[in-house]
Amino acid sequence: MAFDYRKYVAFKPVGKTDRRWPDKVIDKAPTWCAVDLRDGNQALVKPMTVAQKQRLFDLLVKLGFKEIEIGFPAASQPDFDFCRKLIDENRIPDDVKIQVLTQARPELIERTYEALKGAKRAIVHVYNSTSTVQREQVFGLDRAGIRDIAVNGARLVREIAARHPETEWTFQYSPESFTGTELDFAAEVVDAVTEVWRPDQGQPVIINLPATVEMATPNVFADQIEWICDNIQRREHLSISVHTHNDRGCAVAAAELAVMAGADRVEGTLMGNGERTGNMDLVTMAMNLYSQGIDPTLDLSGMAEITEVVEACTEISTHPRHPYAGELVFTAFSGSHQDAIRKCLARREPGELWNVAYLPIDPFDIGRRYEEVVRINSQSGKGGVAYVLERDYNISLPRWLQIEFSKMVQKEAETNGGEIDSLTIHRLFEERYLKVHDDWALRAYDLHRDSEGVQADVTVGSGTTERSLKGRGLGAVEAVSDALERQFGISIAVEAYDEFALGEGTNANALACIRLMAGGQHCSAAALAEDTTSATLQALFSAVAQVVGTEMRAAETRPDTVDA
């Protein structure tokens, strides 16, 4: 059998019993380092051109990154050229440090410094693999052999840097495949490297702990980080960095727990592009902080620009469900979600803390429009349909009509099988409820109130079908219903009736909605007019027309039957 879980073994937990990180809360952003131009680039089907790298670098600077890994210049000519271009053309802002990666091999370290010649400040990032699998199966070396590679690399990094005092150097060491390395050995190698670099004597040093392959749940990674922070030498002089990959889909969670466990710095890429399942997604982690009221120290307000540039440079499209950045992540199709969002947004006062159901952040903050929040398909309910009519057409519907109309919209969506846009919803509403047939168009009305109630005198129709109707009742609707009952010989009972004054920006000032039992049949209609009485009477006529027929023959026009 090929699909056999028994060929895998569970990751052995660290065995920590004194963990403190679960009680920690992240209250400030870590130092960020964007590795899009190196790790992200190494994972692309088509690595970036120098022009694409420049575009992405400029974006990273604009977003506020102060540390940017720009390539592996000793391993790639385009990376070397790009590094030279940034330095020679003076394209690195003074508050930004470029970082370059090199293996701990002498010829690569030499070449790396060539790429960096003349830089004002730079981070030289040297690494070698330390895990058991790499030691035993890739390098065929024991612990001492692996430690020597790191130490020799660290020495050469220090020596060449000393020859170029014009540059402000930071050294960075990564025990690559850290998550698969025994912790005591990882600490031994890190200590051996810092013994060479002496951060305690003023040399800025970053120790980067990569989950080169994500091998366990994020809590295990946090245990590993806390253990290292507690057990390495010179901890207080080091910046502890983490660099997580997403093999189990938890790269962001692992980095977050690692920060709780003591990490000062986080490496990742925008939208998480990177080897295999990707690097830690900087956008998600930074926006997670933002959504908790913590300054992410990055400006991600132009999310559309971010996705556009990343897509253009990586040639990878953004998943519509990508946290914060995806096209659909602020959209609710489900009826109950729409209803809740609509109610929360309607209650919200300017300046209030964000507290809207189903929306972890205000979409507006990252350049998204509220129009995208509620979209309608067959899963949608009355709240969503009502929200769209209200938002786009200033039409408020009473609850009974929301229920009735949303069923119609749902049916249409089921027939079409997809989304129904706002224009179609409005057209359906117009056709079903607002349409006024010529023969039933209200022409004039006169409502005379006396001690016994209201006497109505209304004119409807046009040309040969124009007729005058008279009736009496306690109110206008009852009086006109009476006139219609007399005219058509049917009984009319009003079951629901609502009228709304409309806001600015519409031709009509009033909307009336009515549901009747007329001649033993249910009917409903709505009408827009300049005043509420006209809207109400028109809605009444349009509803009755559905029962007695929309076209009136002249013969149906009876003489007035009401005493004046």
499 binds Zn ion (CB under 5 A): no
Distance CA 283, CA 309 (A): 13
Binds 456: which of ligand KIV, Zn ion, none (CB < 5-8 Å by kind): none
214 binds ligand KIV (CB under 6 A): no
Site size toward ligand KIV, by CB under 6 A = 10
36 binds Zn ion (CB under 5 A): no
Binds 342: which of ligand KIV, Zn ion, none (CB < 5-8 Å by kind): none
Nearer to ligand KIV, 99 or 331 (CB): 99
Nearer to ligand KIV, 175 or 381 (CB): 175
Nearest distance in Å: CB 185, Zn ion: 20
Binds 53: which of Zn ion, ligand KIV, none (CB < 5-8 Å by kind): none
99 binds ligand KIV (CB under 6 A): no
Stretch that binds Zn ion, among 36-44, 163-171, 190-198, 315-323 (CB under 5 A): 36-44
174 binds ligand KIV (CB under 6 A): yes
Tell me how many degrees the CA angle 424-427-430 measures, rounded to the nearest 5.
155
Closest residue to Zn ion using C-beta atoms: 39
Q: Which residues of 466-476 are buried (b: 16+ CB within 10 A; e: fewer)?
A: bbbbbbbbeeb
Distance CA 34, CA 203 (A): 22
Pick the binder of ligand KIV from 84, 147, 243, 515 (CB under 6 A): 243
Stretch that binds Zn ion, among 35-43, 325-333, 338-346, 521-529 (CB under 5 A): 35-43
* Residue 159 to residues 101, 113, 114, 232, Cα–Cα distance (Å): 17, 11, 14, 24
Contact call for residues 146 and 135 (beta carbons, < 8 A)? yes
Distance CA 563, CA 443 (A): 21
Nearest distance in Å: CB 158, ligand KIV: 19
Binds 194: which of Zn ion, ligand KIV, none (CB < 5-8 Å by kind): none
Contact call for residues 446 and 414 (beta carbons, < 8 A)? no
Distance CA 87, CA 118 (A): 7
Nearest distance in Å: CB 505, ligand KIV: 55
Contact call for residues 524 and 433 (beta carbons, < 8 A)? yes
Binds 176: which of Zn ion, ligand KIV, none (CB < 5-8 Å by kind): ligand KIV
Binds 172: which of ligand KIV, Zn ion, none (CB < 5-8 Å by kind): none
Nearest distance in Å: CB 242, ligand KIV: 10
Stretch that binds ligand KIV, among 19-27, 116-124, 205-213, 229-237 (CB under 6 A): 205-213
176 binds ligand KIV (CB under 6 A): yes
Distance CA 384, CA 370 (A): 13
* SS3 state of residue 537: helix
Nearest distance in Å: CB 73, ligand KIV: 14
* Residue 314 to residues 72, 123, 273, 481, 488, Cα–Cα distance (Å): 17, 24, 8, 68, 71
Neighbours of 23 (CB within 10 A): 7
Residue 183 β-bridge partners: none
Residue from 353, 349, 429, 325 nearest 385 by CA: 429
C-alpha distance across the termini of the chain, in Å: 94
* Residue 468 to residues 278, 404, 458, 477, 483, Cα–Cα distance (Å): 76, 32, 6, 16, 9
Pick the binder of Zn ion from 36, 39, 223, 439 (CB under 5 A): 39
Nearest distance in Å: CB 411, ligand KIV: 53
Distance CA 554, CA 546 (A): 18
Nearer to ligand KIV, 100 or 547 (CB): 100
Nearer to ligand KIV, 126 or 479 (CB): 126
Site size toward Zn ion, by CB under 5 A = 1
Neighbours of 529 (CB within 10 A): 22
Nearer to ligand KIV, 72 or 290 (CB): 72
Q: Which residues of 241-261 are buried (b: 16+ CB within 10 A; e: fewer)?
A: bbbbbbbbebbbbbbbbbbbb
Nearest distance in Å: CB 175, ligand KIV: 9
Distance CA 72, CA 51 (A): 17
Residue from 158, 159, 157, 133 nearest 146 by CA: 133
39 binds ligand KIV (CB under 6 A): yes
Pick the binder of ligand KIV from 71, 210, 268, 384 (CB under 6 A): 210
Pick the binder of ligand KIV from 32, 65, 127, 541 (CB under 6 A): 127
Stretch that binds Zn ion, among 12-20, 32-40, 42-50, 116-124 (CB under 5 A): 32-40
Stretch that binds ligand KIV, among 154-162, 208-216, 348-356, 401-409 (CB under 6 A): 208-216
Neighbours of 68 (CB within 10 A): 24
Nearest distance in Å: CB 70, Zn ion: 15
Q: Tell me which residues touch Zn ion (CB under 5 A).
A: 39
Q: Tell me which residues touch ligand KIV (CB under 6 A).
A: 39, 101, 127, 174, 176, 208, 210, 212, 243, 245
